[in-house]
Chains A and B, each alone.
Chain A
Amino acid sequence: MTQTAPKADPSQEAAPAAALHTGSSDIRALLTRNLRQSGIYIAFVAIVALFAILTGGTSLSPINITNIVLQYSYILVLAIGMVIVIIAGHIDLSVGSVVALTGAVSAVLVIGQGLPWWVGILAALAVGLVVGAWHGFWVAYVGIPAFIVTLAGMLLFRGLTLRVLDNISLSPFTPEYQVVASGFLNGLLGGEGFDAFTLLIGAIAVAGYAVSGFRTRVARITYMQPVESFPLFVTRVVLVGAVVMAFAWQLAHARGLPVVLIILAALVLAYGVITRRTVFGRQVYAIGGNLSAAQLSGVRVRTVNFWIFVNMGLLSAIAGIIYSSRSNGAQPAAGNMFELDAIAAAFIGGAAVTGGVGTVVGAMVGGLIMAVMSNGMQLMGVDQSIQSVVKGLVLLLAVAFDIYNKRRGAGAR
């Protein structure tokens, strides 16, 4: 295929350049270009639809949608950190224990010592950062595989949780503390039978999405890069807008906007930008894609690895705060197996076992797939044992799909 002329032939240059500016204008191209990603979205929609039918619409009811958000937010928070860890080619098995430990520290201070709620939150965040730095030190500077370091961490921090709590549960938290996971913003703007404020926030989110999408588009055109055709762009914005507004509509008809959803949305937005747009994010992908090449390109691999784990610790602490707030106390067994849910979310969402691939949004969708399935099966009264079997199979199939795709990609070479 390679036309190899010793000297560049300008007439040949024109052809690919022209193709570049008209590329990917139809839906087909958009879908197949990233089958892996679009596959996840299609699967998500299918699963939502499936359970809506199976539960006779209950799964999409205002109350249930609110419940899903409240119930799985901490897993999604963990999945944000986890996908970054996995992109860099590591793994973190300790997050469940860290969730327990940070919640326990907070509970001891707020419930045990009677200190204000914010002291508990700050202390939990500090503990999370220290734990992250501990893991980061061993992984980045001593060079022990993250699997081992965090396996040790899983035992270590579970033990510390038991010690901090003295083997007993602490409960209940003050009402202020409970707001984090169970609070709602509503009634700020009134509304008859629904919450106008929630709808307004939804509308602002949609507008923000449209404006930022449009600005990106304009910038890309300025730089002569391929963009989707304008009707397709509009269709995409309208579709996303409709989903968000429907979601907001349902929330507005239940209890309003959950505080934890605001936290989650802010984190997803922030980390989405961090992974895509910052030097740090790029370096994470570079390390996972080819460690040696990253090193020889001047990436400070140790520093980046260290901060990846510090960040994971921070997000674990946030998840710990949300979880303790939601369960209104701290238990020695809190957060058990959370790491596996977070890891599963990242992989279902398209992260590669070998590193270098994955997105925050993908991990969120992966986590939501798990959430909608668990929730739907609970609504249907499916036995716990079957639920576990189904979740296991979904994870397996998602990664099998990934590998199948890669093989096809390799075959096309």
Chain B
Amino acid sequence: MDDEILRMRGITKTFPGVTALEDVNLAVRRGEIHAICGENGAGKSTLMKVLSGVHPTGSYDGEITFDGQPVRFAGIRDSEHVGIVIIHQELALVPHLSIAENIFLGNEVTGRGGLIDWNKANAEARRLLDEVGLAENAVTPVGQLGVGKQQLVEIAKALSKDVKLLILDEPTAALNDTDSAHLLGLLRALKERGITCIMISHKLNEIVSVADRTTVIRDGRTVETMDMSEPDAGQDRIIRGMVGRDLDSFYPDRESEVGEEVLRIEDWTVWHPTQDRKVVDGASLTVRAGEVVGIAGLMGAGRTELAMSVFGRSYGRNISGRVFVRGEEVRARTVAEAIEHGIAYATEDRKRYGLNLIEDIRRNISAAALGKLSRRGWVNANEETKVAEDSRRAMNIKAPTVMSIVGKLSGGNQQKVVLSKWLFTDPEVLILDEPTRGIDVGAKYEIYTIVNKLVASGKAVLVISSELPELLGICDRIYTLSAGRITGEVPVGDATQEGLMALMTKDRELAG
């Protein structure tokens, strides 16, 4: 019964000044799906780096037994050699190369004379794609695929290496519900074939539905490993383990006091920047003071595109329609003008579009409103530091000083920096695009609390989110968006996940 494929015993890993892992134990049975949960910074990724040889033997204490043999990895090639493959959250694919080229990258199918046998490689790729259920031509460049399909290519790549233990770091973080479901189904199918999976995830409902056992890590230590078939195993127990206590609720309570209209968008239409189609089609919506309004839509529904085009026409072409802030029409053609008129937009991808990761907290917070800190082009650096320091306290950003480099903060703290930046612009309406993506439960709660404080002070907040429970938990009203059209407007009291999903998929075929 207890056929263990992997045992990590007493793993301790320290970085200068920090103990990232302390005496961590992990046992994984052959052929199971083993979930690892923990807040950001708890040490999950470090543990996986130790396992995959990114942190080589000697840089940590403890021992690893794989397939009954003690193993010592000097690098990632060693771990792949014995059949451990890790798929990182940020996919490692080359966009300009074809699917087949990516699958066999570094592991090319060679024929006579050491030359690559492309016919064989493409045929083999075709077979692997069938296994992962990806109906794409093997010569299609990977860059033309969506994130969900790229994820499948990564798994096909892992399969090509005779994987025994597949590690997935946040595999569904960037996927929509359909793609997530497909991926989870695939993991079950791999399990049938005897491939063991370790899956790091923040999405507890997915863990509950797919994992056989779950190990919870907190502050660099193992809290417990639970068998998901036990009667009390489930989301509540995992959360208890992750945060070390019960969370009364995911979402803080709020009394809504709705005031007058702050943002009104009328008949907003946006065309795709290069293709000949409408991405947003005649959308109209309003947000009032003291109100949190949600936009629910599947990936590709035009949520981000709607927000970005309103935010100083940062997306799309042939934009038509009208935007009003506090009753006055705003014709913002640049981001600077949008900010000036009280619109703020916190992007869904904070690392790529939201933050200057090599710069410190202070300068990231001031970046969107340097004008407020300067006179005739001269920046008051002391005032800037003071503003940042105030934000750090108010937002509870966990960093020693505001001179800390943003790239080294955890996701939750980075998001708080993004929020600080936009709050400092003193916006009338704040658009939050996936405000809690990839951040841990505790930090999510803090972000929700910040949103509540904002609306309590009379601001208006528009939230875009893929997670329906989140929208239901924090919004007053929810619009549904499908294929660029607003298909519904539901007060949160009347909304259910099923009802919203029905609206989000409505008219898809019609609107095409």
Contacts and interface: CB of A to CB of B under 8 A. Distances in A.
Interface in B308-352: 311-312, 314, 334-336, 338-339, 345, 347, 352
B377 A295 contact: no
Given A278-B378, A278-B379, A290-B355, A296 B398 contact: no
A7 B398 contact: no
A413 B15 contact: yes
Nearest to A411: B15
A235 interface: no
B356 A294 contact: yes
B408 A2 contact: no
A200 interface: no
Nearest to A221: B382
B401 A226 contact: yes
Contact of A295 (B247, B335, B393, B413): B335
Contacts of B366: 282
A3 B352 contact: no
B370 A296 contact: no
B368 A6 contact: no
B443 interface: yes
B358 A223 contact: no
B508 interface: no
Contact of A4 (B355, B363, B440): B440
Given A4-B39, A16-B400, A278-B378, A296 B345 contact: yes
Given A1-B41, A223-B385, A296 B400 contact: no
B57 to A, nearest CB: 16
A297 B364 CA distance: 10
Interface in B209-236: 219-220
Interface string B435-455: 000001111011001000000
B396 interface: yes
Contact of B382 (A6, A20, A23, A219): A219
Contacts of A13: 393, 396
Contacts of A28: none
A285 B360 CA distance: 12
Contacts of B445: 6
A2 B40 contact: yes
A412 interface: yes
B201 interface: no
Interface string A286-310: 1001101111111110000000000
Given A4-B243, A4-B442, A356 B359 contact: yes
A222 to B, nearest CB: 7
Given A290-B357, A298-B339, A2 B367 contact: no
A236 interface: no
Contacts of A298: 312, 334-336, 338-339, 368
B382 A3 contact: no
B374 interface: yes
A184 B311 CA distance: 56
A299 to B, nearest CB: 8
A8 interface: yes
A23 B401 contact: yes
A410 to B, nearest CB: 9
Nearest to B407: A413
Contacts of B335: 295-299
Given A7-B449, A8-B396, A300-B334, A293 B353 contact: yes
Nearest to B382: A223
A292 B401 contact: no
Given A226-B401, A289-B356, A2 B39 contact: yes
B313 to A, nearest CB: 12
A226 B389 CA distance: 12
Interface in A248-302: 276-283, 285-286, 289-290, 292-300
B353 A296 contact: yes
A138 to B, nearest CB: 21
A411 B338 CA distance: 39
B43 to A, nearest CB: 9
B377 A20 contact: no
Interface string A1-40: 1111111100001001101100100000000000000000
Given A1-B41, A279-B377, A413-B408, A19 B400 contact: yes
Given A285-B359, A295-B335, A298-B368, A277 B314 contact: no
A3 B336 CA distance: 36
Instruction: Output the residue of B352, B377, B386 with the most chain A CB within 10 A.
Output: B377
Given A285-B359, A296-B353, A298-B368, A5 B442 contact: yes
B16 to A, nearest CB: 6
B354 A293 contact: yes
A273 to B, nearest CB: 9
Contacts of A294: 356, 367
B134 to A, nearest CB: 29
A356 B363 contact: no
A261 B373 CA distance: 34
Nearest to B242: A4
B353 A292 contact: yes
A290 B247 contact: no
A283 B373 CA distance: 14
B341 to A, nearest CB: 11
Contacts of A357: 358
B34 interface: no
Contacts of B400: 16, 19-20, 23
A2 B247 CA distance: 17
Nearest to A273: B378
B412 interface: yes
Contacts of B105: none
A282 B370 contact: yes
A55 interface: no
B356 A293 contact: yes
A296 B385 contact: no
A297 B367 contact: yes
B371 interface: yes
Contacts of B314: 295-296
Given A1-B41, A222-B382, 7 more contacts: A2-B42, A8-B396, A19-B400, A276-B381, A279-B370, A279-B374, A296-B347
13 contacts: A2-B41, A4-B243, A6-B252, A277-B379, A283-B370, A285-B359, A289-B358, A297-B335, A297-B421, A298-B336, A298-B368, A300-B334, A300-B336
Q: Which 3 A-B pairs have the closest CB atoms?
A: A4-B442, A289-B356, A298-B336
